[in-house]
């Protein structure tokens, strides 16, 4: 047991990712949106990190699905 709530569990993956092209576009869009985040704003940094974590997991899930690979 941990003294905190983790961002996600070890076996949790994003449900039904979009196509690789769709995920790539959404990843680039999020990178553009978060590029101007205030590094001195803790809440903004937490939101940015969580959003990027989710987006990268979705992109990897789409790549795995395209290749017919499981986790």
Residue 70 is given by DSSP the state: -
Number of separate domains in the chain: 1
**Residue 10 to residues 33, 39, 55, Cα–Cα distance (Å):** 28, 28, 16
Look at residue 8 and tell me whether its pLDDT is greater than 80. no
In a domain, 1, yes or no: no
In a domain, 14, yes or no: no
Spatial CA neighbour of 26 closest among 59, 53, 50 = 59
40 contact partners, CB below 8 Å, separation of at least 6: none
Identify the domain containing residue 32 by its residue range: 20-67
Q: Does residue 17 carry a pLDDT above 70? A: yes
pLDDT higher than 90, residue 7: no
Q: Is residue 30 part of a domain?
A: yes
The predicted model scores a pTM of 0.78
- Cα separation, 28 vs 68, in Å, equals 24
**Domain assignment of residue 8, yes or no:** no
């Amino acid at each position: 047991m941990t003294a905190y709530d983790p961002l996600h569990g070890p076996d949790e993956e994003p449900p039904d990712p979009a196509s690789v092209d769709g995920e790539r576009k959404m990843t680039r869009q999020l990178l553009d949106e978060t590029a101007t985040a205030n590094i001195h704003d803790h809440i903004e940094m937490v939101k940015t990190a969580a959003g990027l974590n989710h987006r990268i997991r979705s992109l990897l899930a789409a790549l795995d699905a395209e290749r017919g690979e499981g986790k």
